[in-house]
Structure 1
């Protein structure tokens, strides 16, 4: 286990400066942190910071508020919890406003106790107020309470902004292009996640429960510095693999079945998102191998379209053509092949999208520029990270060979768009049939 890459404080400050430069003159932006969520009575879920707030601040504590002021001089202000020895004994250390200003590079800091008194003064006299209205009901109420104070204070010279703008569009465009430090973290998250998938393959055998493979994966994550999974781990044996977001993970794995694992680590806030499908007993049947290789060929065809200026629609077309032709050759689809390809007939069994943006969120933010035919036309640019994840799913009622009924196969990698094409970040998770079967013959890690 090594010390992992982290984002430098200066990069968070640069992001704030970049956002301020795009804000209209005489405006103020409000970006709140996440709140802790109660799990049961007096215990909380493991805290997960609001991603937009984290992207701009690097600050990990709940309940904080980032205020960006665009006026004659730009300012970044943080409201956060005060130091409190009694609370820190029970719940852990707090940064406090003084250390937050010094360590995170904010121009000014206040305690949360000062929020209701001070915040209206930062909004007062601004032409434009920018925040994510509707994202957080409690925060909306705070903002509109401030606006009511200003609107009722005309005699005291107070004025409320005349325009409210959603700040998310600007932040999400910034988040879509990853910096070198972000890319380095995502590479590391992929290596940890790939090793976890290998570990699960080695642990697989008839009679093992799905949750036991999940435990192998989560152990590998945590032991290597990624304390949390980026999303609920999917371990679907047999027909459970045809349920796209299956997370019960409670059934026993059976000889002759395939098992689909969709799992990725979260490292320093950034997600990996990897799917592998493999035989429980370590050996594909001939028919399983044919369908598996068809999905793999579709993924490779999509990869080959990825470069600056291309888009998801082009990648989708390439994958759909391969899948449709392959299903036709297997006798699963029938009719005129050209018509089947034009009609995207494979979508009967390829029931989800080809991929999505990836970053601080698993399904990361950023405009896909979807047209009226649901084509995603946003041009790829260097620094974008996305998933490519074709799949085929045959439930128990599907009109296919009995051996394929109840079979789901998905293969998912994480792809960085580069100046000349792409880089596959998912470099160490076995993917070809030979790699998978060799990995599953390897002795289990002690």
Structure 2
């Protein structure tokens, strides 16, 4: 399941149409990262570079000019290197497979960059790429030294981030298909973990069950570090040690999603290790589930992005008061953000090539309105620290989050991660099978 070459070209054309005339876009994909000694991590292309080119190899640069013409500068074919490290597309593959207008080996980068930037009115690149910023400054200085020969160094620079973020925020049909496939692989992995869990096993042993399904199903790697948190560990939002023992009576919070074609899925489910919720666990779980449904009702075209969060917060705060974890009027507790002792994150984020995908959440200081094609998560939760002496002991150490991936569309929100139990009775029945 791949994005077509024509789609990448259309993206570049659309990007250039949004920029001032006579602009040149420069993007690089990044380098291999060393894990230790002579071992490298598996390479994963920079998301915006990949969005515009589809090219998967390291050390590559893209020069985009005109109406979207692409020059790819890549590592060259090298039989000896390929013997050790594997296949390279090289310049020929860059043109034949990825639709580049032109391609050249990496050793020609400076020559091609100087030619492309000479006379450009604007140079557009990702301002947060420090290495590229230094390279562009050096190229512009080199052009300036040739002014007597007629060279014209660029003097205007634009950050690519806002333009590319707006493009990436709205998914097309090909992207949605890949994201739903990644979501459904993730659903199967979570189901497998629910059935595999046993009190006494290690969290990392349960994590292994997730990774098994990811890879078996075609997702080479998770989209982010898997969170497999049992008991009090579920109250740590980004718990990734996954090395504790799962005890009888624990809740297990799994936050994990597959990456497919560089697109991320992101799911969280919380379930009892022994297959049966205790009364306090069930009570707080129902509060979180009610908040999920309240937030979901706000995920409609034209609704402010923050409406989902606000709806979830109202339900969560009401539930905390109902069960005695907070005292006072709900509206006052919300105004004072008292709920943040138990719910300290937002109710979702954009999802796409990055698990926390790019895109502004506010426009001119106001919450942006949802549009068709946007994909985001919905993930309310409650986390009662095991050390919280202000609440009854029966609540302490309970951490719960429920998360799905949602496509905004005219017919109403569509859950890409459909088919994974989240009602209490569904979870208990599924785990009992």
TM-score bracket, normalised by the shorter chain, equals over 0.9
Q: Are 1:97 and 2:106 an aligned pair?
A: no
Q: Which residue of 1 aligns with 2:400?
A: 409
Q: 1:140 and 1:358, CA in 2 relative to 1: closer, same or farther beyond 3 A?
A: same
Number of aligned residue pairs: give it: 432
Q: Which residue of 2 aligns with 1:30?
A: 26
Instruction: Tell me how far 1:342 sits from its aligned partner.
Output: 4.1
1:278 partner SS: strand
C-alpha distance in structure 1 between counterparts of 2:195 and 2:68, whole Å: 55
Matches within 5 A, 1:65-144: 65-70=61-66, 74-135=68-129, 137-144=130-137
Q: Which residue of 2 aligns with 1:39?
A: 35
C-alpha distance in structure 1 between counterparts of 2:411 and 2:190, whole Å: 29
Instruction: Tell me how far 1:162 sits from its aligned partner.
Output: 1.6
Q: Are 1:325 and 2:318 an aligned pair?
A: yes
Runs ≥4 residues deviating over 4 A: none
Instruction: Tell me how far 1:18 sits from its aligned partner.
Output: 0.8
Segment of structure 1 superposing worse, 101-110 or 170-179: 101-110
Q: Which residue of 1 aligns with 2:385?
A: 395
Instruction: Tell me how far 1:19 sits from its aligned partner.
Output: 0.7
Instruction: Tell me how far 1:371 sits from its aligned partner.
Output: 7.4
Q: Which residue of 2 aligns with 1:48?
A: 44
Q: Which residue of 1 aligns with 2:17?
A: 21
C-alpha distance in structure 2 between counterparts of 1:308 and 1:12, whole Å: 27
Q: Which residue of 2 aligns with 1:287?
A: 280
Instruction: Tell me how far 1:341 sits from its aligned partner.
Output: 4.1
Q: Alpha-carbon deviations, 1:341-362, whole Å to 9, x = none?
A: 4444322211111110000000
C-alpha distance in structure 2 between counterparts of 1:30 and 1:126, whole Å: 12
- Unaligned residue ranges in structure 2 (runs of 5+): none
Contact between 1:321 and 1:344, CA under 8 Å: does it hold in 2?
no
2:12 partner SS: helix
Please give the TM-score of this superposition, normalised by the length of structure 1. Answer: 0.94
C-alpha distance in structure 2 between counterparts of 1:52 and 1:336, whole Å: 46
Which of 429, 441, 446 aligns to 2:420? It is 429
C-alpha distance in structure 1 between counterparts of 2:204 and 2:330, whole Å: 42
Q: Alpha-carbon deviations, 1:340-386, whole Å to 9, x = none?
A: 344443222111111100000000000111777xxx70110000000
Instruction: Tell me how far 1:187 sits from its aligned partner.
Output: 0.7
C-alpha distance in structure 2 between counterparts of 1:400 and 1:134, whole Å: 44
Contact between 2:60 and 2:72, CA under 8 Å: does it hold in 1?
yes
Instruction: Tell me how far 1:421 sits from its aligned partner.
Output: 1.9
Matches within 5 A, 1:287-366: 287-366=280-359
2:367 partner SS: coil
